[in-house]
Amino acid sequence: MAFLPEFTREAVLAGKPDGGKVRCQACAHRCLVAPGGAGRCGVRFNEGGVLKVPWGYVSGASPDPVEKKPFFHVLPGARTLSFGMYGCNFRCGFCQNWQIADLKSAGAPHPSGTTPAGLVSAALGAGAGLLVSTYNEPLITAEWAAAVFSAAKKKGLRTAFVSNGYATPEAAAFLRPVLDLWKVDLKSFDDANYRKVCGAELPKVLEGLRIIRASGFWTEVVTLVIPGFNDSDAELGAMAAFLAGLSRDIPWHLTAFHPDHLMTGVPATPPETLARARGIALAAGLRYVYSGNIPGAAGQDTLCPSCGRTVIKREGFSVTGNLLGKGGTCPCGHKLPGVWD
């Protein structure tokens, strides 16, 4: 059955029909969707040989600080307007937005119809400098995000994805004219765990990260550190080495897990685990490693790698001090990577 058929348009990220079937190009699953069927996400479906995709609604929208996304090297202290839709191309057992991402568990949807201009107006009214597609996986609703972001660009707003990174070259090229920033979740460095717990493949996530970086998006990476799942020294070290191989300047956010969805029996991440993970990442050569989801944890501030000075000080999602000058320049003269102006 088609999901919210009244809120759809024809896909851009789709191949030519072949015998009625259509190959979706929005994410690395590359689902071949037969007439009457849907992709793994559940929201991109084939209607009479035409791939239809979500359009014209949100599952929710809310103003947030940019630090909550989290982006720590983007316009410190700026407000965002975050919006989402329904569905996901992953099936993560620890999903914290499962009420909108997991269509089988979520129950009846409650979409709010809107337009790109309406979302831009809401962002401007909230004093937001950025519009962010988040809450569910934005790649599966890329056409809608592109329309919203195109309208946002005309009003001088920055735009961002909060994503699992299952990107394709086609999606990256389609989004590049209107999308500035991409936050990627790196959930594990074990392919068997990715397949079992998330319904995805680690090599395709790593390739997605390469595609996103090579396409020129400002990229920050988040790993939810889960006891017994991805918190071993070996796995943390392998993730850190991979990211450092892409660029030592990629900010890596290590965040604490809290029991949720299908993993309520797993304990919360203790502060000492985050501290150990951060030490491993710094030892691997990453210059900007942050800790999150534990109040007061070390690793919330941005330090200049040249002089060691604290250039951005944070308390939770609030910026309490910022010494960076134009273009992200430290008082010592070193220019930090990011989107600062």
Distance CA 26, CA 85 (A): 15
State what percent of residues in the chain have pLDDT above 90.
89
Chain segment 260-270, per-residue pLDDT in tens: 777 888 899 99
Chain segment 287-299, per-residue pLDDT in tens: 999 999 888 778 9
**What is the pLDDT, as a whole number, of residue 1?**
61
Distance CA 195, CA 173 (A): 27
**291 CB-near residues (< 8 Å, 6+ apart):** 253, 254, 255, 256, 274, 275, 278, 297, 298, 299, 300
With the C-alpha atoms ordered 185, 291, 126, 152, is the resulting torsion angle positive or negative?
Answer: negative
Distance CA 139, CA 146 (A): 10
**290 CB-near residues (< 8 Å, 6+ apart):** 70, 72, 251, 252, 253, 254, 278, 299, 300
Whole-prediction pTM value? 0.96
**What is the pLDDT, as a whole number, of residue 265?**
86
What's the token pair of residue 77? 């202290």
| Contact (CB, 8 A) for 33 and 22 | yes
Report angle CA 83, 89, 92 to the nearest 5 degrees.
90
